[in-house]
Amino acid sequence: MQLFSDQCVYIRHIRNNVVIIGVHVDDMLILASDDEAMAEFKKEFGQKFDISDLGKLKQIVGFEV
């Protein structure tokens, strides 16, 4: 589901898990309620698109985390 208030943020609810995806140009930030939800989303998304997993967040849009 795309957020009405921000067209670059998507939320996915599956059972008791939540995945939030932020998109900026060709980068994505994925936040998940647990590791299983994260792995499931990456697997499904990776089957449809060619993706690179850069690991844990260190920097996003020029900001260091």
Cα 40 to Cα 64: distance, rounded to the nearest angstrom: 27
39, 62 Cβ separation under 8 angstroms: no
Whether 33 is covered by a domain: the verdict is yes
Per-residue pLDDT tens digits for 5-63: 778 899 999 889 999 999 888 888 999 999 999 999 999 999 999 999 988 889 887 88
Whether 58 is covered by a domain: the verdict is no
Confidence of residue 3 (pLDDT cuts 50, 70, 90): confident
In total, how many domains does the chain have?
1
Structural domain range at position 34: 9-53
pLDDT at 43: 94
pLDDT at 5: 73
Whether 62 is covered by a domain: the verdict is no
1 has a pLDDT exceeding 80: no
User: Would the CA dihedral through 51, 1, 62, 37 be positive or negative?
Assistant: negative
